[in-house]
Amino acid sequence: MAANNSVNISFTVNGERFNNINVPSRQHLADYLRSQGFTGTHLGCEQGACGACTIEMDGKAVRSCLVLASQANGTNLKTVEGFDDEMMEKVKQNFLKHNAFQCGFCSPGMLMTTKEILLNKKKLTRDEIRSEISGNYCRCTGYQSIVDAIEECINEIN
Amino acid sequence: MDDIKVNQNPKLGSLDRPNSYIGRSLPRENAKKHLDGGGQFVDDLTLPRMVHVAFLRSPFAHAEIKSINTNDAKKSDGVIDIFTAKEIDEVCKPWIGTLGHLGEMRSPEQTPLAKKIARWQGEPVAVVIADSRAQAEDALELIEVDWVEKEAQVNMETALDSNAVIIHPELGNNLFWTRTVNQGDVEKAFKEADAIVETTLDFARHTGVTLESRGIVADWNKAENKMTIYHNGQAPHMMQHIIAKHLDLNEGLVRIVSRDVGGSFGIKVHVYPDEMAVTAISKKIGRPVKFIADRLESFTTDIHARCHKISGKLGVDKNGKILAMEIDDLSGIGPFSMYPRTSAIETNQVLNLSGAPYVIPNYKAVGTVVFQNKTPMCQYRAVGHPIAVAITEALIDKAAYKINMDIDKIRKINFIPDNAYPNKCPSGVPLEDLSHEASMDKLLEIMDIKEIEAQKEEDLKKGVLTGHGVISMCEVTNPSPLFYGVGGAHISSQDGASIRLEGSGAIHLSSSITEQGQGTEAIMKQIAADQLGVEMESVRVTLGDTDATPYGGGTWASRGAGIGGEAVLKAARKLKDNILNIAAAIMQTDKDTLDIEDNNVIRKNGGEGISLKKLAETVYYRGHELPKGTNAELLATASFLIEGIPFVFTNSAMGCQVSIDQDTGIIKINKFWAVEDCGTQINPKLVEEQIRGGVIQGIGGALFEECVYDDQGNMQNATMADYLVPMAYEMPDIIVDHVTTNSGRSIIGAKGAGEAGTGGAPAVIMNAINNALKQVNAEVVSQPITPEKILKALGKI
């Protein structure tokens, strides 16, 4: 069993450099990030079904529970703690305004999915928004308030 | 600031004044931390020398444990120790999940780890303690258990048969609890009825699927004899008592901290064997111990809910007046009744609440609760309500169809009139301050039934089956001591609030109510700031820490706003009174001429006032300046308890329209409406979001969610890819409206709003589907209503 094997990698998280880090070869990226204090990345199912652990890897949304930490070698990662640009601040204000979260456990993943929707710069109908976020599970809200918030973000951007 | 919603509670004062926050849809500024990744969930906590555990769980639904060999596993990397029942039982005493107020309940002793026999797939039997969770899991694979698989009693319907597998031989059979309610004379009334309708409905097991799984960090500090538990639970003081009792600790030296909780819905209010084992391990090894359930553990060990089969019969006269109702409910609860709330309550609620909105002079209800070899079942959001509401509303639709009456009309002529409260459920449970008539009127107004009927005909021409339904229901909220305390459970029905003005002029508030995302902190802040006359921003709130908050029950049974909110209101009014007394002494004036606005004591007739900051500085730092004998108390506490009735009920009316594709059996919810009467709405937006979230959970139960078991008691779909939860694409927008009937039990007048959606949605969805299917003489009677069940009903498969 290669339980103790490790891999030496370098990457950045929210602009912070991680140089020549040894990560266990079997550890997934979400576990590694959480172990380093990036606890905004949440784990809901560890099989890619719930979307809570969604983060940004080189500009693309990935399920950090389905990516090995070692696969982050050479990449730039962004977690919810790093969502602080003007667009994401606006998104957060709309989430707050519409109460688009209750317990907050799904929010990091939901924000990342929202970011991807907004970067595509497409005008979407409510049904299309629902389709876009259908990979992110939220048990609290029933989704309507999240759709409201994203709809307002789209209207502001386009 | 958001629009003022009309607040019909004169006890709360005018809305047209500064710092009027009750009744406004203010955003939860305190919750923004979650959008910045700054929540503090249990798994986010790391303590020095903390260790991790993984449980070896029974792979069988019923099996004898001949022996457990941990020798090889103990040598595995990072392993600190491995315990079985023997070691854990040295530290933790067993418990029994029965209460004394509902007749005889029979459930055996339960221990954290199974001894000799495992009784459900997922029951913990051994635990590995290691430096990391991954290492603990590695070692699990090296533990050798000599299992002897036994036949399992899986089906609740055969659990009382003479050839059933007896799960606890010492009890003689698999009966946990039974109750009969008999009001009036149903037999005589059925003989007099012009029409009698009957149905039998099935409700599958489903579960809470909180996105954050159960988690606990137990930290025994030997030097202080103190146990600190970081726990994502709903009732910290209940856990404090239970951990002290079973680990033989000084209760005052057990501290429960519940910071951010990632959803609970009743799942996280119970005592779980694995969590008790974790506290015992910390006590034994003297180190902090963390356990976070993985998703497989959540599905097989979080409590399940529902699992009912209910038969019902309703008799009406030719004018549609209900003469009698009879129900017979069977439920399976797994091998143990959960501790300390018991697994009898869901069935008890079915018996209490069936027929609740209506005048039903003759009512008989029988409930039977049996053991089976499946995951334990217990209270989950809207306990019993989906079953009680669905059977009642299905029978009423059937009666309407039989005597050819409109579905809204038959309800209206049978409602307990809005002006006839106080009144009683058919079961005899007291009711007050409800508005079924007004709520149904409002629902019909926003639904536009005529347009819906017209669309139904249009759709039928295209081969699409469209139907609609309307229902009424009561929701149990704000329970009194008659819910649990009277039966011997140490679960507080009283809650407290403590509020102080600090030297900086800031207000600090603490409450025994907890937060799992509903908005507890936000509404407490609104109440305190409103009643004191200060800006919201100046109030800081502490919740979820038995060392820092007043004693109380926590958050469950939709009790936060109505009970905890009233305590905050009373405490804030006391503090305001104290402040005005001090200000009157400083300003050498009559207290009645003063008020507080925007953090300043003002003279009502004009003239210079004093800021709360200055007043606090005088009190704390220059007390010698105060007139002699001034009672300078800047701390106030208050408590509140519902007295005299078991619960404060709310009521709702719901409607929906569905369309069914006859080729695929796929159901589309076109529209959903909910009218809720929860009395005073402290924050209308948060109330609406509780309704919406609740409705979606109810839709989950109605259409998707089921813990599927095979004949041997193996759960077949214990992953989030296989167990279907509502996702955004399938869910409708929900139109929410309100009727306001304040509770007369409190000044604030608020009732609960957390569970009605989950309680009512399964009934209205099922009625709408059957309204659609009726056009082709088909019917469904089993939830979840899957496309497969629709196609079977249509005779296509």
| B1-5, B362-366, B689-693: range with lowest mean pLDDT | B1-5
State pLDDT tens for residues B40-72: 999 999 999 999 999 999 999 999 999 999 999
Provide CB contacts within 8 A for A4, sequence distance 6+.
A24, B77
Task: Say if residue A1's pLDDT is above 90.
Answer: no
What local confidence, expressed as pLDDT, does residue B7 receive?
55
Annotate B587-599 with b (16+ C-beta within 10 A) or e (fewer). beeeeeebbbeeb
Query: B542-575 pLDDT, tens per residue?
Result: 999 999 999 999 999 999 999 999 999 999 999 9
Question: Could you list the residue range(s) of the whole structural domain that residue A25 is in?
Answer: 6-81
The fold adopted by the segment(s) B304-482+644-793 is Aldehyde Oxidoreductase; domain 4 (3.30.365)
Tokens 């809910």 sit at which residue? B305
* B594, two tokens: 């003063």
Question: Which residue matches tokens 């509780």?
Answer: B690
**Residue located via tokens 């290669």:** A2
Measure Cα distances from B10 to A65, B683, B739, B742, B749 in Å. 53, 17, 16, 10, 10
Residue A140 banded pLDDT, cuts 50, 70, 90: very high
CATH value at residue A63: 3.10.20.30
Read off the pLDDT of residues B321-334 as tens digits, 9 standing for 90 and up: 999 999 999 999 99
Query: B-contacting residues of A 116-135, CB under 8 Å?
Result: 126-127, 129-131, 133-135
Residues contacting B47, CB < 8 A, separation 6+: B217, B219, B288
3-state secondary structure of B510: strand
Q: Using an 8 Å CB-CB cutoff, list chain A residues near B295.
A: 44-47
Reported as a single tens digit per residue, the pLDDT across B103-114 is 999 999 999 999
Report the pLDDT value the prediction gives residue B10, as an integer from 0 to 100. 77
Helices (H), B640-747: 684-699
Q: Could you read off the pLDDT of A38-88 as tens digits, one per residue?
A: 999 999 999 999 999 999 999 999 999 999 999 999 999 999 999 999 999
Q: Which residues make beta-bridge pairs with B676?
A: B652, B738
Split at pLDDT 50, 70, 90, the class of B11 is confident
For residue A1, tell me if it sits in a domain: no
Q: Kindly provide the residue ranges of all beta strands, DSSP E only, lying in B534-689, ordered along the sequence.
A: 539-542, 594-597, 600-603, 610-611, 635-640, 648-660, 667-677
Distance of alpha carbon B420 from alpha carbon B177, whole angstroms: 34
pLDDT digits (tens, 9 = 90+) for B469-525: 999 999 999 999 999 999 999 999 999 999 999 999 999 999 999 999 999 999 999
pTM: 0.97
Rounded distance, CA B464 to CA B455, Å?
Answer: 10
User: Could you tell me if residue B150 is left (phi over 0), alpha (psi between -120 and 50 degrees) or otherwise beta?
Assistant: beta
- CATH architecture for residues B494-640: 2-Layer Sandwich (3.30)
pLDDT at B510: 98
| Distance between B729 CA and the closest CA of chain A, angstroms | 5
Are A54 and A110 contained in the same domain?
no
What span, in angstroms and rounded, lies between the C-alpha atoms of B124 and A131?
39
Shortest alpha-carbon distance between residue B615 and chain A (Å): 34
On whether the CB atoms of residues B128 and B274 are closer than 8 A, the answer is no
Same domain, A90 and A152: yes
Structure tokens at B671: 């529209």
Distance (Å, whole) CA B497 – CA B492:
14
Quick check: B386 and B759 in contact, CB under 8 A? yes
Does residue A10 sit in the same domain as residue A77? yes
Please check whether residue B332 is in contact with residue B303, taking contact to mean a CB–CB distance below 8 angstroms.
Answer: no
Tokens, residue A27 = 């550890």
pLDDT at B1 over 50: no
What are the extents of the domains in chain B? 43-150+209-301, 304-482+644-793, 494-640
What residues form DSSP beta bridges with A18? A11
Domain-ending residue, one of A51, A81, A111: A81
Question: How confident is the model at residue B611, as a pLDDT?
Answer: 98
Of B35, B208, B694, the CB nearest to A96: B35
Candidates B41, B697, B727; nearest CB to A137: B727
Same domain, A77 and A103: no
- Sign, CA dihedral B17-B23-B25-B29, equals positive
A53 part of a folded domain: yes
Give the mean pLDDT of chain A. Answer: 96
**Dist CA B266 CA B671 (whole Å):** 28
Q: Give per-residue pLDDT as tens, B118-132.
A: 999 999 999 999 999
Residue A25 pLDDT exceeds 80: yes
* A17 and A71 share one domain: yes
Determine whether B715 is exposed, middle or buried from the number of CB atoms within 10 Å of its CB (0-12, 13-18, 19+). buried
Q: What does the pLDDT look like over B218-274, one tens digit per residue?
A: 999 999 999 999 999 999 999 999 999 999 999 999 999 999 999 999 999 999 999
Tell how strand B430-431 and strand B465-477 pair up. Answer: unpaired
Contacts of B312 (CB under 8 A, 6+ apart): B198, B199, B200, B201, B325, B326, B327, B328, B354, B391, B392, B394, B395
Residues B279 and B112: beta-carbon distance below 8 Å: no
Size of interface A-B (CB pairs under 8 A): 176
User: What is the structure's pLDDT at B8?
Assistant: 62
Burial classification of residue B564, based on how many CB atoms lie within 10 Å of its CB (0-12 exposed, 13-18 middle, 19 or more buried) = buried
Residue A134 with chain B: CB contacts under 8 Å:
727-729
A68 and A96 housed in the same domain? no
Chain A residues close to B134, C-beta within 8 Å: 3, 24, 26-27
pLDDT of residue B3: 47
The verdict on residue A19 lying in a domain is: yes
- Among B34, B213, B692, the residue with its CB nearest the CB of A101 is B34
Average pLDDT over residues B5-34: 85
At B2 the pLDDT is: 45
pLDDT value for B9: 78
Same domain, A71 and A116: no
Alpha carbons B370 and B157: distance in angstroms, whole number: 9
| A26 within domain boundaries | yes
Average of per-residue pLDDT across B678-692: 97
Q: Does A24 share its domain with A77?
A: yes
Of A83, A104, A144, the CB nearest to B39: A104
Question: Is the previous residue joined to B169 through a cis bond, with omega within 30 degrees of 0?
Answer: no
What's the CATH number of domain B43-150+209-301, 3.40.50.150, 3.90.1170.50, 1.20.120.1200, 1.10.3720.10? Answer: 3.90.1170.50
Q: Is the peptide bond before B340 cis (omega within 30 degrees of 0)?
A: yes
Q: Which two tokens stand for residue B352?
A: 């209490």
Give B539→chain A minimum CA distance, Å.
19
Query: Within this chain, do residues A76 and A89 fall inside the same structural domain, yes or no?
Result: no
Distance in angstroms (rounded) separating the CA atoms of residues A76 and A55 = 11
Average pLDDT over residues B642-646: 94
pLDDT, residue A121, reads: 84
Q: 3-class DSSP state for residue B93?
A: coil
Q: Which of A57, A81, A105 delimits the end of a domain? A: A81
What CATH number does the domain containing A87 carry?
A: 1.10.150.120
Instruction: Flag if B263 and A144 touch (Cβ within 8 Å).
Output: no
The residue from A52, A81, A110 where one domain ends is: A81
| Residue A35 placed within a domain | yes
- Which residues are B433's β-sheet partners? none
Confidence class for position B4, pLDDT limits 50, 70, 90: very low
Q: In chain B, which residues have their Cβ closer than 8 Å to the Cβ of A78? A: none
What are the tokens at A146?
């999240």
Q: Is the pLDDT of residue A3 over 80?
A: no
Q: Tell me, what's the pLDDT at B570?
A: 98
What are the residues whose beta carbons fall under 8 Å from the beta carbon of B768, sequence distance 6 or more? Answer: B467, B468, B469, B656, B657, B658
Instruction: Return the number of other C-beta atoms located less than 10 Å from residue B721's C-beta.
Output: 12
pLDDT in tens, B729-785: 999 999 999 999 999 999 999 999 999 999 999 999 999 999 999 999 999 999 999
Query: A109 and A66 in one domain?
Result: no
Distance from the A106 Cα atom to the nearest Cα atom in chain B, whole angstroms: 7
Q: CA-CA distance, B570 to B719, in Å (whole number)? A: 46
**Nearest to B562, CA basis, from B524, B533, B522:** B524
ipTM of the complex: 0.97
The total number of structural domains that make up chain A: 2
Instruction: Note the pLDDT of residue B213.
Output: 98
- Domain-located, residue A75: yes
The answer to whether the B304-482+644-793 and B494-640 domains have the same CATH topology is yes
Residues A34 and A89 in one domain: no
Query: How far is it, in rounded angstroms, from Cα B262 to Cα A139?
Result: 9
